[in-house]
Structure 1
Amino acid sequence: MEFPSENDFLQEFGIEPIEVDPSLALCRYVMKSRSGDLELDFSFSVVMKSFQVVLRLAMQELAVFSSESVKSIEVVRDGSEAGIRVVFDICDSISEARIAFEPDLSCRWWTLRKT
């Protein structure tokens, strides 16, 4: 599983993990929107090959996504947004998550069946 280091997150987005578990190679991060009412809590474990996202509005959970079979996590930065791209290796499907940190917090996740 390919993934950014703690230093990559610090350099790219100015964030540090709020939780680290070396035995699971787990890192957990929390980001807040500019207004402070929207919160994106995400974590990944290299050992478990898993990725989790919790989206909260005013401390109420709006969405929770979780999956195993992570193939890679990469930092992405293009003309309109910056964040991470997570690719999953789930049999007979194409699955990806795009988590944007800039300019606003957002999460898009999809799984499509291969033909």
Structure 2
Amino acid sequence: MDLETPKQGGNYFCFFQHKHKWVGLKDRHPELYERAEHEEQARYRHIAMKGRNYAWSQGESLPELIERREEIEAKHQAALERAAKRIRPNRPLLEVLSCPPPTRRRIGPQPPPVTGGAAP
């Protein structure tokens, strides 16, 4: 089986895995997804606190998550687009160090101007 290494955590069955990663696992490695779903539904039910359900993803089981796949993929795509807009290109260190610091406008009351008199 040719598996790509997960980018975060190195674990396919991780509580902190993003929802879009579960959708991707189902698409690319359905056997691993089925195993995770089985673990969630059968194996861990008996150790969950009374009145609570065990789930890999907070707030919903894997089948519920997959039902929302289009919404999850759309949210993930929107997040990627927002992140791409924030990325600033790398600049050479010399350029960064030679630039004057940005001027900042002071908000609020301005201090009195400093006069050039001698100290008493």
Shorter chain as normaliser: what TM range?
under 0.3
Structure number with higher helix proportion:
2
Structure number with higher strand proportion:
1
- Larger of the two Rg values belongs to structure: 2
Q: Which has the higher contact order (CA 8 A, sep 6+)?
A: 2
TM, length-normalised to structure 2? 0.24
